[in-house]
Structure 1
Amino acid sequence: MSLFRKTTKLSSKKQKSQQNENQNQPESVLLSGHLQDDFQQIKHLFKAAGDFVYREIEITPKYPAVILYLNGIINVERMELHVIQPLLKHEAGLLPPYPTIDHFKALLSAARVTQGETFQEAVDHILSGSTVLLINGFQKAIFISEQAWEQRSIEEPASEAIVLGPREGFTENVTTNISMIRRRLKTPNLKFEMMKVGKLSNTGVVITYLEGIAEPSILEEVRSRIERIEIDAIEDSGYILEFIEDQPFSVFPQILQTERPDRVVGNLLEGRIAIIVDNSPFALIVPVTFFQMMNSPEDYYGRFIMTTFIRFIRYLFLIVALLFPSIYIAVTTFHHELLPTNLIFSVAASREKVPFPAVIEALLMEITFEALREAGLRLPRPIGSTVSIVGALVVGQAAVEAGIVSAPLVIVVATTGIASFMFPSYPLTGAIRLLRFFMIFLAATLGFYGIFLGVFFILVHLVQLRSFGVPYLAPLAPFHFNNVKDLLIRVPWWMMNERPQETGKTNLKRLRYRRRKY
């Protein structure tokens, strides 16, 4: 049985109806070659667009032409220099008595000049920031790329800050993002497949992979899932994410979102596939595993001994972030005998004036902490961190003095909050935050039995979870010994000689290095 999502075939009747619709689509309407007719049709489409600009020129008395573009998204100076001036001031003899469209293209000094023969192609190029040239007597239009989009400069990623490693992150311009990947992988095997998604937005979506390393079946599944998306507009890569996940109702992220080009390149080298969306600084990486979500890009830039230690701390605080409040509730409600006598008396004394049971205490503090966290994110940066820290201290201290919550619970909630900030993947942090409340309710009703039951259900769910057919707990389940070298521990680079079995089996060998003994 295939692990991939099954696709249903269209019936013959539906296929015929779609073919009839396609025949009436604008992309099937060819340019007539009569300048005024073609110009008036395109002008009619942009009749209420205030930024639509056209200029009629005369290349020769026999060949009048018109230039069409949208103001604000093209470089007017370059268009004047590379398009208008060469057409109006061309030297005599450059055009033969019966020129072809290629002769007119040769007059232009722009770097990228293409051509098309349908109205839809002309409209798409105008909307994409190109200049369109229509010449009387020719059933083809010339497209000149002179875009001048306003864009944000390359900055350090805000969501994936590191100490060691590159400092640049993706921007909202897909061309810039592609160039940052290409600069790191100077090989013709690096492929970029362009697609358009969104009936109204025509957003550019780029599938990036390394030919000869990426698994062809996974690549085909990525193409298939993106092609099935039918939506008016794509505003961010998060739109694509929800459409192509294996199990969208799972709290665990099955697609990695990153704004770091070095992280994308590292995953491409392991046989994974990246999806870059125009107007979004976040690239999507598929397929991914749980352990990949727990790894930081910085893990591969420092020495392996320190990286291994940090990973142990990270997994330890994963348990703390998920279970610490529920363990406190279970112990104080059902299992007092697990605590030393002195600690029991200390906790009991702190809870003596508290009118609520432990579960209500925990929920009040957890919800308050979540509210402070969100407030810190939404406020301007200079005051956001101050409000969240000061707010937590003031609210915690006031709640203890008022006898609403106990001091040990404030310590538990604060430690849990700190632990949740240690995960490199923000979507994984959200999953742990949600599951923490689930574990609190189980601990309040069944004690440690509820905690064990909740952990069991979470593990069962993780085992049966897939990301584009790849097991979510790989390489632990199923177990692959060679891939465990980059799991909880990180061995030296010269020992990681194979790619992950699940994504790089097309070309497993990654490096050949024989360490010299000094």
Structure 2
Amino acid sequence: MKEAENQRKISANLRENEKYLRSRLEKCSDILIRSMRLGEKQKVDCLMVYIEVAVSNMMLDDSAIGKMINHFWEISPEQIQEFIKNNSLGIADVKKLTDMNEALAAMLAGNAVFFIDGYDRAMKISSKGYPSMGVMEAESEKVLRGSREGFSDSVKSNSALVRKRLRDTRLKVEEYYTGVRTHTLTQVLYMEDLVHEELLEQVKERLGRFRIDGILDSGMLEQLTEDVWYSPFPQYQTTQRPDRAVQEILNGKVVILCDNSPEALILPGNFNSFMESSEDWYHRFEMASFLRTLRYLAVIMATVLPGLYLAVIRFHTQILPSALILSLAQAREGVPFSSVTELIFLELSFELIREAGVRVPGTLGNAIGIVGGLVIGQAAVEANLVSPIVVMIVALTALGSMTVPNEEFAAAFRLLKYVFLILGGYLGIYGIVLGVYLTIAHLAGLSSFGVPYLVPFIKKDPHEEKGEGIWRAPLRMRWRRPLYAREEQRIRLKRKEPLS
């Protein structure tokens, strides 16, 4: 009975429609139901349903809805229905609805819905929609060169930012609604002639695989649809930058945009793509290659350095020069804790400072991070709770993790750091080697939508061009797309023949 009620058709009797709407929208004070009489001598009863904030100034002359209603004041009832059936005013984005569920969904999406007596259809008329923050700078992906625009909370604005950079009708934007109660709009963007059909079908299948109350951010989509849910390494690349999303679409990847989220999901994801920055394409290849190499060294340092320090000072002191051994021993003199406890204590203290700096608003957060690190580190050394060398180790580890362009990817190494710390502290170099082996084995076994996680280091295509890994080839030599694109569309750069 309840299912039949939800599938109720729109009636030609306006009073029945109004009664049903008022029963469904009872105690919804933010939703307005406005009755009006239009046509010559005001003979036709009409109804407009809309959210007060999402649809404003609807009676003004310069709005599409206002022009339609003003026109209806002067024509006969028969002409009104004829105009509605044919959309003679040419109002943009008008859709005829036959079901009350569709009408309510359209209204809750921020549109106005128009009913007229004697006509068994409703008209969905787009308006300005819900308020949003608008286009802002991408905070988490700062660059020195390139666009400053970042995604906003509005999925429509985000797809428009992509379309602004990729003005090709082969760019397809498919819409889906996820969440039984939230009906969150999700968009799938791809280049029709570049993307593999198998990848596209797999993405659509996974989006329709689950049933959940609501999707409030793209991170929830990511967790529900990824291959290996228990891995700390993300299998979706995330970005707040439209130019980065366009770069990956041109490589044959798929981008997912979720309403109310400024983060776009890029798939398939792989290790190397997380280590790339948008400006790697804008800098000269020498500098871009140097910065990529620096990032890889920083990741190794952020993961292995604390464990390697413990392994050396606890088990393998013979590999260090005598002067350095004496210096380390003197620095640790008087420290009451073991080296493992000392390092874990300082690492957790820094994580606490980092989290506090993120939660405190504005520039005060940055100040707390800097001052807190200096004060706590200096106070701990002077109180003889930790040695100065450990403060230096923790600082270098933190700097290494901050150089990773993707914060979610860096978080995986921040967790992995504690595993290496324990292995190095209690098993020495053998523990470090074991940790490296297990980490590489796990990464080698990961895949994202059928693509190995360690591409391009694991070569899947023998014809793949060089310069896709740590070294970035000159732009004029990047003439082939990666393996994500179809084989017949791999060529992306051609040199024009010189004029004779």
Give me the TM-score of the superposition, normalised by structure 2: 0.94
* Aligned equivalent of 1:441: 422
Q: Distance in 2 between matches of 1:98 and 1:177?
A: 37
**CA-CA distance at 1:102 after TM superposition:** 3.5
- Preserved CA contact (<8 Å) 1:105 1:142: no
| Conservation of the 8 A alpha-carbon contact between 2:14 and 2:46 | yes
Answer whether contact 2:44 2:77 (CA < 8 A) is retained.
Answer: no
Counterpart in 1 of 2:26? 47
Shift of 1:152: 1.1
C-alpha deviation, 1:381, in angstroms: 2.3
Residue number in structure 2 paired with 1:452? 433
Say whether the 8 Å CA contact 2:254–2:268 is kept in structure 1.
Answer: yes
Q: Within 1, Cα distance between the matches of 2:280 and 2:377?
A: 35
User: Counterpart of 2:258 in structure 1: which amino acid?
Assistant: V
User: CA 1:48–1:412 in structure 2 vs 1: closer, same or farther (change >3 Å)?
Assistant: same
Query: Do the aligned partners of 1:214 and 1:504 also contact (CA within 8 Å) in 2?
Result: yes
Classify 1:483/1:431 alpha carbon distance in 2 versus 1 (closer, same or farther; 3 Å).
farther
Question: Partner residue of 2:4?
Answer: 24
Q: CA deviation at 1:93?
A: 6.1
Counterpart amino acid of residue 237 in structure 2: L
Deviation, structure 1 residue 472: 0.0
Name the structure 1 match of 2:451.
Answer: 470
In structure 1, runs of 5+ residues without a counterpart are 1-19
In structure 1, distance between residues paired with 2:235 and 2:259: 21
Residue 339 of structure 2 corresponds to 358
Cα distance in 2 for partners of 1:97, 1:186 equals 40
1:75 lines up with 2:37 in the alignment? no
Kept in 1, the 8 Å contact 2:195–2:484? The answer is: no
- Give the deviation of 1:57 after TM superposition: 1.9
**What SS does structure 1 have at the residue aligned with 2:385?**
coil
The corresponding residue for 1:5 is: none
1:238 counterpart residue number: 219
CA–CA distance in 2 between the matches of 1:173 and 1:415? 38
Match of 2:469 in 1: 487
Q: Distance in 1 between matches of 2:241 and 2:5?
A: 39
Which stretch of structure 1 is more off in the superposition, 202-211 or 474-483? 474-483
Residues paired across the two proteins, number: 494
- Which of the numbers 499, 504, 510 marks the counterpart of 2:481? 499
Which residue type is aligned with residue 487 of structure 2? K
State the 1:52 CA deviation. Answer: 2.0
Q: 1:191 to 1:329 in 2, by over 3 A?
A: same
Structure 1 vs Structure 2 CA RMSD: 2.1
Structure 2 distance, partners of 1:321, 1:483, is: 30
Which residue matches 2:267?
286
Q: Which SS does the other structure have where 1:146 is aligned?
A: coil
Q: Structure 2 counterpart of 1:371, which letter?
A: L
Shift of 1:95: 6.3
Q: For residue 305 of structure 1, give the secondary structure of its aligned residue in structure 2.
A: helix
Task: State the AA in 2 paired with 1:452.
Answer: V
Counterpart contact for 2:134–2:154, Cα < 8 Å: no
Percentage of matched positions with identical amino acids: 34
Shift of 1:118: 0.8
Aligned counterparts, 1:4-19, within 5 A: none
Distance 2:109 2:450 in 1: 36
Asked if residue 327 in structure 1 is aligned to residue 308 in structure 2, the reply is yes
Alpha-carbon distance change, 86 to 348 in structure 1, aligned in 2, over 3 angstroms:
closer
Measured in 1, the distance between the counterparts of 2:160 and 2:151 equals 10
What is the aligned partner in structure 1 of residue 327 from structure 2? 346
In structure 2, relative to structure 1, the CA distance for the partners of 1:90 and 1:137 (3 Å cut) is: closer
What is the alpha-carbon distance in structure 1 between the residues aligned to residue 324 and residue 45 of structure 2?
93
> Gapped runs of 5+ residues in structure 2?
none
Letter in 2 for 1:414: A
SS at match of 2:467: helix
Q: Equivalent residue for 2:372?
A: 391
Displacement of 1:400 in angstroms is: 1.5
Question: Please, which moves more after superposition, 497-506 or 431-440?
Answer: 497-506
Contact 2:177 2:184 in 1 (8 A): yes
Q: What pairs with 1:83-482 in structure 2 (closer than 5 Å)?
A: 83-84=65-66, 86-87=68-69, 89-90=71-72, 96=78, 99-100=81-82, 102-103=84-85, 105-106=87-88, 108=89, 110-480=91-461, 482=464
Displacement of 1:66: 1.4
| Partners of 1:372 and 1:412 in 2: CA distance | 16
Letter in 2 for 1:498: R
* Partner residue in 1 for 2:13: 34
How many angstroms does 1:122 deviate by?
1.0
Q: Which amino acid aligns with 1:513?
A: R
Cα distance in structure 2, aligned partners of 1:98 and 1:180: 38
Task: Find the aligned partners of 1:321 and 1:504 in 2 and give their Cα distance.
Answer: 37
What SS class does the counterpart of residue 67 from structure 1 fall into? Answer: strand
Aligned partners of 2:14 and 2:117 also within 8 Å: yes
3-state secondary structure, aligned to 1:275:
strand
Deviates more, 1:285-294 or 1:109-118: 109-118
